[in-house]
Amino acid sequence: MNFWTKVASLILRNRYLVLLLIGIITAFLASQMKYMKFSYTEANLLPENHEANLEYNKFLEIFGEEGNLVILGVKDSTIFTPQKFNAWNNLVKQFNGLEEISFTLSIADIKKLKKDTKNRKFVLEPLFDKNPKSTEEVLAIKKQLFENLPFYENLLFNKETGTLQTAIYIKKEIINTPKRRDFIYKQLIPIVENFEESYNVDIRISGMPYIRTLNAQNIQDEILLFVVGALLITAVIFFFFFRSFRATFITLLVVIIGVTWAFGFIGWFRYEITVLSALIPPLIIVIGVPNAVFLINKYQQEIKKHGNQAKSLQRVISKIGNATLMTNITTASGFATFVFVKSNLLREFGILASVNIISIFILALLIIPIIYSFMPLPKKKHLNHLERRWIENVVNWMEKTVKEQRIGIYFATVFCIILGIIGIYQIRVSGSLIEDMPKSLAFYKDIKFFENEFGGIMPLEILIDTKKDKGVMKLSTLKKMEKINETIEAFPELSKSISVINLVKYSKQAYYKGNPKYYQLPTSQEQSYIFSYTKNSDSNASMLNTYVDSTGRYARMTTFMKDVGSDKMDIIQERLKAVIDKEFSSEKYDVSLTGKALVFIKGTNYLIKNLVFSLSLAIVLIALFMAWMFRSPQMILISLLPNILPLLITAGLMGFFDIPIKPSTILVFSIAFGISVDDTIHFLAKYRQELIANKWRIKPSVYAALRETGVSMFYTSIVLFFGFLVFTLSSFGGTIALGGLVSVTLLLAMVSNLLLLPSLLLTFEKKIANKKVFKKPAIPIFPTNETKSKR
């Protein structure tokens, strides 16, 4: 009695105990679901000790969270009428009174900096001290604002378009907590919607806290969509193939328990739900159904052959158990390669995916035979699909193509390889934070609005360390910062920067009685007496503290980026670094570029390097697995080529259709490779079995293997194709691309495994079809007596 026969006997004799054990584990994992939580921070794609992360963390230590700004914008000429103008200013006051808000900055808050000659200091006076009552008064305020206060330009208004902007700073301590979500949904959105309804004005909302909150909610909503969609589509396809409510119900039961386990593992491991881990539950459905196809198909074949239920169930476990274990191990291996990547986001995804893939295999192997053991034998109508004419025609076509069109298959293969290589050279890399966001939703359109009006919403920070206290306020340092300022203004992708420079320029303007032409850095002669006014003032303190630390050693320059990809960002970085290296000597200054947007772009580039590593590792692992399993070095090349070819074609398609490499699409290759190798294992295992039965005659062995495995491979590939196609229902661009690309790759892999693989076996028959080369496998995937019994 071999190992799997013992396993089958153990499962079926202890079926009540097995079901009880599954029930206990399911109940435990269901109880862990309460620990699931959604991520309230951007996905950090870099290792914790990466230079970009260290620089960003240093910035946060000095100046605190930079992504705490929510902005409101309005572009409407009627806003400059007394009623709406006053209402707009009162709107901001509502937010000021909320406990979640640190402070706000709007036209109502504007203070003019004035020189107090008597006390030799600057004082702040409000732009207007009472609400305007006539349109003339409003327009006078507008004129004074747009023409005399360049300090606030691009911060609170765009004088070219008349657009007004209000800045709301959320308290830094709640920015990465559930309180942020409550504020956005229970306070911010209702207050803004009420204003819009009352005054018939369209208000735009943006800023990283707002975008992150709505994005997280979208991910949350889509998990249910994916799970229900994957269940429905796989159930429909499964029923179409098997025409059995019983088989469909059993399969759905297995994957529903698998989904419960998937959510339970997320909670048990205390992982946050991110845009990647949200894909795990539907992924388990899609990967779990093919297991059921193989097991139920085998059960029905056995019933048709001899009609003995006990014998059929025992054979399902003993004969298919090993094959499905091997295929699930290779699929899990494809995902497990992410465990070796230093990015926490991908490592967690790899751990969850590989653990759940093995779990769904165990569930299918236990539940399907046990439930069938309680049921009556399938009726003849349930077995009709085994002799369906159309599927026989598909298999006949494949056999005929391999027999008669082998040269054509090779020409098509070479043509696809050439096209794939051409396409690869056209692939672009995208490190955009917002490219994947749902473009149909209002918050994406608002992002574009602020990009057009104010230059972007994603903060890019420049941290300047002068290495000595009060080094920032030296005129020499300010002049160097101004050079960076000029470079930033030369880029249309960046907004005007905000820093201590603006405040110093405003001080000079105030010193010269508010004349806007003096909004510039002071000369060395002017410096001493302008700065003497500044020292006596407490009016600048709050503004100064935001951009200079308490010791005066560190300064920050903040600009906001448009939605730029990695290529443009590389150019921007190079230009800025060239200016920094020229102006700031490394002996006296440390200057670094940082900010969430930059960390994300660097993370994307880091992931691409790791993609090559993880995919190469997956190929090596599976090649070694094949070598160990089949004990044939020649079989490694023959088995890998049909699986690498679809990846090459997919990469080419990404280049031709301008689908960029980004965190979401990077996963395509490892997922598709891990799954597509399953077909190869099934085919080669059956092929070797047929070789022994046919006394090493290769042609009848190849055609017999093609006929035997073709149906199951066709079924599972169709299920996988439509299962992954569910992801195209997403509103996230990256998830749509992931679903579409994996679906296409798996379809190509099926064709490749059913046409190219047998063609290669026939072409190289003399080199591989002998006992010395094709030794007895380390693992008997299909027992040899199965073939003999059919003869």
pLDDT in tens, 326-349: 788 878 877 887 887 777 777 888
Secondary structure (DSSP) of 576-606: HHHHHHHHS-TTT-EEEEE-HHHHHHHHHHH
Return the higher-pLDDT residue of 384 and 771: 384
**pTM of the predicted protein model:** 0.77
Alpha carbon distance 79, 568 (integer Å): 36
pLDDT higher than threshold 50 for residue 785: no
Question: 136, 167, 201: which is the final residue of a domain?
Answer: 201
Residue 745 forms part of a structural domain = yes
Is there a single domain that holds both residue 768 and residue 632? Answer: yes
* pLDDT tens-digit series, residues 171-218: 888 887 888 889 999 999 999 999 999 999 999 998 888 888 887 788
Within a domain: residue 188? yes
Q: Are residues 353 and 413 in the same domain?
A: no
Q: Within 10 Å of residue 611's Cβ, how many Cβ atoms?
A: 22
Report the interhelical angle of 280-306 vs 698-725 (nearest 10°): 140
In tens, the pLDDT along 389-419 reads: 777 788 888 888 888 888 999 999 999 999 9
pLDDT, tens only, 650-702? 899 999 988 888 766 777 887 788 778 888 877 887 787 787 788 778 788 88
Residues 227 and 125 placed together within one structural domain of the fold: no
pLDDT tens per residue across span 240-256: 877 788 888 999 999 99
Token pair for residue 664?
Answer: 């979401």
pLDDT at 768 over 70: no
Whether pLDDT at 777 is above 80: no
Q: Are residues 362 and 395 in the same domain?
A: no
Say whether both 766 and 618 belong to one domain: yes
- Split into its structural domains, the chain has a count of 3
Claim to verify: residue 166 and residue 119 sit in the same structural domain? yes
Whether 554 is in a domain gets the answer no
Q: Are residues 321 and 261 in the same domain?
A: yes
Q: In this predicted structure, what is the pLDDT of residue 246?
A: 86
**Res 784: pLDDT:** 46
Within 10 angstroms of residue 534's Cβ, the number of other Cβ atoms is: 19
Do 84 and 178 fall into the same domain? yes
Same domain, 197 and 151: yes
Residue spans of beta strands (DSSP E) within 185-305: 203-206, 272-273
- The residue that leads in pLDDT, 660 or 465, is 465
Among the candidates 387, 407, 440, a domain finishes at: 387
Residue 564 lies in a domain: no
What backbone torsions phi and psi does residue 777 show, to the nearest 5 degrees? -65, 155
Note the pLDDT of residue 788.
40
* Measured distance CA(263)–CA(35) in Å, rounded: 10
pLDDT in tens, 721-756: 888 888 888 877 778 888 888 899 889 998 998 899
Residue 594 resides in a domain: no
- Note whether 614 and 756 are same-domain residues: yes
What is the pLDDT confidence band of residue 257, given thresholds at 50, 70 and 90? very high
Place of tokens 């090779």: 410
Per residue in 404-461, pLDDT tens?
Answer: 888 999 999 999 999 999 999 998 877 666 777 777 778 788 988 988 888 877 888 9
138 part of a folded domain: yes
Using the 3D structure, point to which of 336, 364, 387 is the last residue of a domain: 387
Percent residues over pLDDT 90 in the chain: 25
What pLDDT was estimated at residue 385? 62
Structural domain that includes position 695: 388-425+606-791
Task: For the chain, give the mean pLDDT.
Answer: 83
In a domain, residue 108? The reply is yes
Residue 212 is assigned to a structural domain of this protein: no
Label residue 771 by pLDDT band (50, 70, 90).
Answer: low
Q: How confident is the model at residue 544 (pLDDT cuts 50, 70, 90)?
A: low
For the domain that residue 643 is a member of, what is the CATH number?
A: 1.20.1640.10
Tell me, what DSSP letter sits at residue 433?
S
Contacting residues for 421 by C-beta, under 8 A, at least 6 apart: 648, 652
Residues 370 and 404 in one domain: no
Same domain? For 188 and 230 the reply is no
Q: Which helix (H) or strand (E) holds 316?
A: none
Banded pLDDT at 381 (limits 50, 70, 90): low
Cβ-in-10-Å burial (0-12, 13-18, 19+) of 556 comes to buried
